[in-house]
Amino acid sequence: MSGADICVGAIAGSFGVRGEVRLKSFCAEPAAIADYGPLTTEGGRSFVVTLTRPVANGLGARLSGVSTKEEADALKGTRLYVGRDRLPALGDDEFYHSDLIGLEVRDTGGALLGRVSAVHNYGADDILEVQGTGESRLLPFTRAVVPTVDLAAGRIVVDPPEDSA
């Protein structure tokens, strides 16, 4: 795994008794996870993913080299990565979460609020977690709250809602 790798999914557990896994895809189009070629783990293991069916909260999949329920169970929680160069180019105002993490966050008046420590998505819009001095705050990642993302300068400008302090 290199610094240019992007996490595109995670193994949520086994599915069935023949080595299938329940796969959680982090791709905008969940089934696209199988289109990027072999996916790698943090430990360097590589898998070819073959999707089998939709399942509750994810996708059923077969991974190359995994043929038993026990092997699939052992992979639970494993994150899967792909080289950034194999991902599609993004349009304007689209960002990979990994591009946002670590960016400096300032309010519209220029005051430093902290840095993006995580990007969460609980089913609606993305939420930025901004870690300031001794505190963290959650901000919706919407145009109204985040009018400027400047990757080249390494910063985000936010106009936080009144009640987000």
Q: Which residue has the tokens 């302090």?
A: 165
Quote the distance between the C-alpha of residue 105 and its chain's center.
20
Please spell the DSSP secondary structure of 139-151, one letter per residue. Answer: EE-STTT--EEET
Whole-model pTM over 0.75: no
pLDDT digits (tens, 9 = 90+) for 44-65: 999 999 999 989 889 999 999 9
In the 8-state DSSP scheme, what is residue 15? -
Q: Pick the residue with more confidence: 163 or 24?
A: 24
Cα dihedral across residues 91, 96, 97, 100: positive or negative = negative
Instruction: Give residue limits of the domains in the chain.
Output: 5-86, 97-164
Residue 33 has pLDDT above 50, yes or no: yes
Residue spans of alpha helices (H) in 5-128? 69-74, 97-100
Q: Which CATH number fits domain 5-86: 2.40.30.60, 2.70.180.20, 2.20.25.90, 1.10.3720.10?
A: 2.40.30.60
Cα-based distances in Å from 131 to 116, 121, 135, 136: 6, 17, 6, 4
* CATH, domain 97-164, list 1.10.10.10, 2.30.30.240, 1.20.58.220, 3.30.230.10: 2.30.30.240
- Give the chain's mean pLDDT: 90
* Spatial separation of the C-alpha atoms in residues 50 and 19, rounded to whole Å: 12
* Region of 60 on the Ramachandran plot (φ > 0 left; ψ -120 to 50 alpha; else beta): beta
Mean pLDDT of 85-112: 88
Per-residue pLDDT, 164: 55
